[in-house]
Amino acid sequence: MAELPKLIVIYNPFSGRRKLKDLPQMVINLLADSQYNVLVWPTEKASDVTLLTERAIREKANIVVAAGGDGTINQVAASLVNTGISLGIIPLGSGNGFARHFNIPMNTEKAIQLLRTGHAKEIDTIWINRHCMVNVGGIGFDAHISSLFADNKKRGLQGYVKTIVKQLGYKSEHYKIFQNDRLIWQGPAFMISIANATQWGNNVRVHAGALPDDGLMNLVVLKQFSAIELPRILTNILQGKLHLNKKTKVYTGTDFKIEREREGSVHADGEPLWLGKEININIEPLSLKVLSNE
């Protein structure tokens, strides 16, 4: 008798949106009559995600499912790049930007059921100084917020908004942006966002036209602005039109280098990093399979 294909769920019970103690049993019950041999592996600490993903690869899983937020997805995805193993998603985080891009239901039962019917889609991955990113990354204000939010006990959209409001006095920094070793822009910027997919989370979009399978990334530079310009910028962000604001420059390409005057925060899919003055950003086209509901 042929062995069933293996579906392994890596479950982060500490994700921000809600804690589902019964998730493992829910997965087993809802996929009981599926074509898969289903296993659920909960994590006990953050480093477990990578270790369990590597174990799933060794055990020749066909699908590895990240049950958690964008950070959990990032860690699972980083290990699955170029393995041919499909990434499934059960969104349990605060923003779930990557899952929303692929139209994966926020309802947990429906997301689990989608694992039966979702089709595998090849997407690009972005590498920030060799740190993997699949959704959205950034330098400047949003990286600063990500580093603060990582330690914030108040999760969800409300906690995120409160953190942003408290930090609106953030000062722009000076950057130089190079493409193919050519300086294409320099000046003070409030933030520089790297968009592989469309949104930060909670349907707040950094670039509505970003496509994760076109072999290109979008660099969205929000230049230094005055207080009087802030309401228009916030409105544009909520409308998904930040890339159209007069204070925004958008560059599209495969490789960029960013230089800044001091080391500091960067984020990849909301996960805070501390990097140096030079940041290299490169794309690896169609290097990851994702179960999509698009």
* Tens digit of each residue's pLDDT (9 = 90 or more) over 241-277: 999 999 999 999 999 999 999 999 999 999 999 999 9
Give the per-residue pLDDT at 46. 81
> What is the set of domains in the chain, with CATH numbers?
6-117 (3.40.50.10330), 131-283 (2.60.200.40)
Residue 1 has pLDDT above 50, yes or no: no
Top-confidence residue, 294 or 125 = 125
> How many whole angstroms separate alpha carbon 186 and alpha carbon 249?
11
Give the per-residue pLDDT at 232. 95
Length of the chain: 294
* Tens digit of each residue's pLDDT (9 = 90 or more) over 164-217: 767 777 899 999 999 999 999 999 999 999 999 999 988 999 998 999 999 999
Give the per-residue pLDDT at 267. 96
* Tens digit of each residue's pLDDT (9 = 90 or more) over 125-149: 999 999 999 999 999 999 998 888 7
Give the per-residue pLDDT at 16. 58
CB contact at 8 A, 96 and 160? no
Give the per-residue pLDDT at 19. 58
- pTM (2 decimals)? 0.91
Residue 107 φ/ψ region, left for φ over 0, alpha for ψ in the -120 to 50 degree band, beta for the rest = beta
> How many whole angstroms separate alpha carbon 236 and alpha carbon 286?
30
Query: What percent of the chain has a predicted confidence (pLDDT) above 70?
Result: 93
Q: Check residue 36 and report its DSSP letter.
A: S
Joined together, the tokens standing for residue 276 give 């140096």
Handedness of CA 103, 201, 74, 249 (dihedral sign): positive
Q: What is residue 33's three-state secondary structure?
A: coil
Give the per-residue pLDDT at 99. 95
- Sheet strands (E) in the chain: 6-11, 37-42, 63-68, 86-91, 119-128, 131-133, 136-140, 173-179, 182-195, 199-201, 204-205, 217-223, 248-253, 255-260, 264-268, 271-275, 278-292
* Tens digit of each residue's pLDDT (9 = 90 or more) over 28-71: 999 998 899 999 999 998 889 999 999 999 999 999 999 999 99
